[in-house]
C-alpha cells in the first residue's frame, strides 16, 4: 500500500480521493488550510497550504504520491501554478505527483481545439482553466526523472453535480469524454476511482488523461 497525500483534501474532489484511498487500504494524509468538522475515518489530517511550498514539502516527507486537488479559483487564482511548481521542485524525485485539472484543457476532438478555446466557453471560467492548463505545461517541462499524471474531469464535475458511485468510467486520452447525447459527466466517487486506479496501476506516466462516462 502507498502513502498518499491529498492537497486540498477537504474540497469536493479531495474528500472523495481521501475516502477512496482509505477504503482501498492506503495510508492517507489530507492537507488543507483548516481542519474539517467531518473527517474520513482512517485518514490523517494536517494543516498546510500550497502557498508555503517549502514547509509543505517538509510536512510530506515519506509520502509516495502527492495529489493536488487545489483549484485556481477565488483567492487561489494566480497562485496555484507558481506554488505548485515550487512544491514539485522541492519534493524528492521518488515522489509521484498527480494533479486534478479542469475540463477546460481537454481537447474537444483529436488534435484540438481545447474546450476553453471553443466558442461559448464561459468567460468567467477562462482564467482558472488557463492557469490549470499552465500547471500541465509546467509538469511537461520537468526533468524526465519526475513521474507525474494530470487528470481532466468531465465537464459536469463538481459539488453542483455530485452524482452517484457506479464503479465505472471511461478514459478519453486527451479528449473530453462525452456520452452519446453529448453530455460530459462524472460523479465525485467515480472520479476518485479513476485517480486511485492510476495510482495503483499507472497507465499515464508523465501524461494527462480525461475521464467521464
Q: Parallel, antiparallel, or unpaired: how do β-strands 65-68 and 3-7 relate?
A: parallel
pLDDT of residue 186: 98
In order along its 213 residues, the chain shows pLDDT tens digits of 999 999 999 999 999 999 999 999 999 999 999 999 899 999 999 999 999 999 999 999 999 999 999 999 999 999 999 999 999 999 999 999 999 999 999 999 999 899 999 999 999 999 999 999 999 999 999 999 999 999 999 999 999 999 999 999 999 999 999 999 999 999 999 999 999 999 999 999 999 999 999
- Which cell numbers hold the place of 163? 452524482
CATH code at position 36: 3.40.50.720
CB count in 10 Å sphere of residue 179:
12
pLDDT of residue 120: 92
**Full residue range of the structural domain in which residue 133 is found:** 3-212
Separation between Cα atoms, residue 97 and residue 151, nearest integer Å: 11
pLDDT of residue 205: 98
pLDDT of residue 19: 98
Q: Are 104 and 133 in contact, with CB atoms under 8 Å apart? A: yes
Q: Give the total number of structural domains in the chain.
A: 1
Edge to edge, the sheet with strand 148-152 lists: 44-47, 27-32, 3-7, 65-68, 96-100, 148-152, 207-212, 170-171
pLDDT of residue 175: 98
pLDDT of residue 124: 96
Amino acid at each position: 500500500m502507498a502513502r498518499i497525500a491529498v492537497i486540498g483534501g477537504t474540497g469536493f474532489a479531495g474528500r472523495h480521493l481521501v475516502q477512496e484511498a482509505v477504503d482501498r487500504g492506503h495510508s492517507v494524509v489530507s492537507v488543507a488550510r483548516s481542519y474539517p468538522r467531518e473527517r474520513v475515518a482512517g485518514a490523517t489530517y494536517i494543516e498546510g497550504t500550497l502557498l508555503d511550498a517549502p514547509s509543505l514539502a517538509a510536512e510530506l516527507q515519506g509520502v509516495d504520491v502527492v495529489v493536488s486537488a487545489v483549484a485556481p479559483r477565488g483567492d487561489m487564482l494566480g497562485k496555484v501554478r507558481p506554488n505548485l511548481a515550487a512544491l514539485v521542485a522541492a519534493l524528492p524525485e521518488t515522489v509521484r505527483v498527480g494533479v486534478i485539472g479542469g475540463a477546460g484543457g481537454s481537447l474537444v476532438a483529436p488534435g484540438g481545439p481545447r474546450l476553453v478555446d471553443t466558442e461559448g466557453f464561459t468567460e468567467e471560467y477562462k482564467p482558472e482553466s488557463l492557469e490549470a492548463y499552465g500547471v500541465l505545461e509546467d509538469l511537461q517541462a520537468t526533468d524526465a526523472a519526475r513521474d507525474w499524471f494530470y487528470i481532466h474531469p468531465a465537464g459536469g464535475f463538481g459539488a453542483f453535480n455530485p452524482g452517484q458511485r457506479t464503479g465505472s468510467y471511461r478514459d478519453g486520452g486527451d479528449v473530453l469524454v462525452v456520452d452519446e447525447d453529448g453530455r460530459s459527466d462524472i460523479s465525485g466517487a467515480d472520479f476518485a476511482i479513476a485517480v486511485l486506479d492510476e495510482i495503483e496501476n499507472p497507465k499515464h506516466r508523465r501524461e494527462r488523461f480525461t475521464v467521464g462516462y
